[in-house]
Amino acid sequence: MQTSKIQYSTDELKLAENSELILTKNRIVKKTIALFAALAEEYRSISESYRAKLPSEIFEHSPKISRGEQYLELPYVMLDYPRMFSREDVFAIRSFFWWGNYFSITLHLKGSYKKMYSQRIKDQYDILSQNDYCIAISDDEWRHDIGEQHYFMLRKEGFQKLEETIEAGTFFKLAAKWPLQQGNAIQPLFQEQFSTLLKVLSG
């Protein structure tokens, strides 16, 4: 049986010779994990001001940091806190680093939490749009790529589109993102938007 011959391109072989590329990537991922560990502690502290107005069960689980290599074939690091995931109900705020793309923060509500907070999100449209939030329009609640195919800008599309999107699905996700070039200033941006989301949900 004849097998096809595997051919590397010149660029591929040149990259394969460059060990510093992977070592640098590993350092970036480690720094991002350290950043998210620091954020987790900040998030816990910020949450204290809102716990009385939010469901107690969403704070029962400690912050969770995960990493991987293959979200759409690219490395990522993510922090979930607060977090409550079940088949029917989801309440989560996810901080996300996606190699080659951006940092982002996402509010994910499904089931009972969607019902609980839909009106509050609508009431806070102005704050969310001013902070450049997008809302997911994909049927797949686990898509994290914030592009025009899967999200739209609240500021661009308006309140009516937000209302229609919330009412149409079993879940909704709000997200804001920042370019990776802002990495050295990203921690306060995450903290600010985490506070904004908790403030919006608390009413």
164-177 pLDDT, tens digit per residue, is: 999 988 999 999 99
Handedness of CA 159, 161, 162, 163 (dihedral sign): positive
Tokens 């306060």: give the residue.
Answer: 188
Whole-number percent of the chain with pLDDT over 90 = 87
Residue 1's pLDDT band (boundaries 50, 70, 90)? Answer: low
User: Structural domain boundaries of the chain?
Assistant: 10-202
Where are the alpha helices (H) located in 84-124, listed in sequence order? Answer: 112-123
Give the separation between CA 31 and CA 39, rounded to whole angstroms.
12
CA gap 83, 98 in Å, rounded: 20
Whether residue 147 is predicted with pLDDT greater than 90 in this model: the reply is no
Diameter of the chain measured on Cα atoms: 69
Cβ atoms within 10 Å, residue 6: 5
For residues 184-193, average pLDDT? 98
Q: What is the pLDDT of residues 35-83, one digit of tens each?
A: 999 999 999 999 999 999 999 999 999 999 999 999 999 999 999 999 9
Whether residue 112 contacts residue 88, with contact meaning beta carbons closer than 8 Å, is answered with yes
Residue 4: is its pLDDT beyond 80?
Answer: no
Q: Is the pTM of this model over 0.85?
A: yes
- Model pLDDT for residues 73-125, shown as the tens digit of each residue: 999 999 999 999 999 999 999 999 999 999 999 999 999 999 999 999 999 99
Q: Which CATH class is domain 10-202?
A: alpha beta
Q: Is the pLDDT of residue 182 over 70?
A: yes
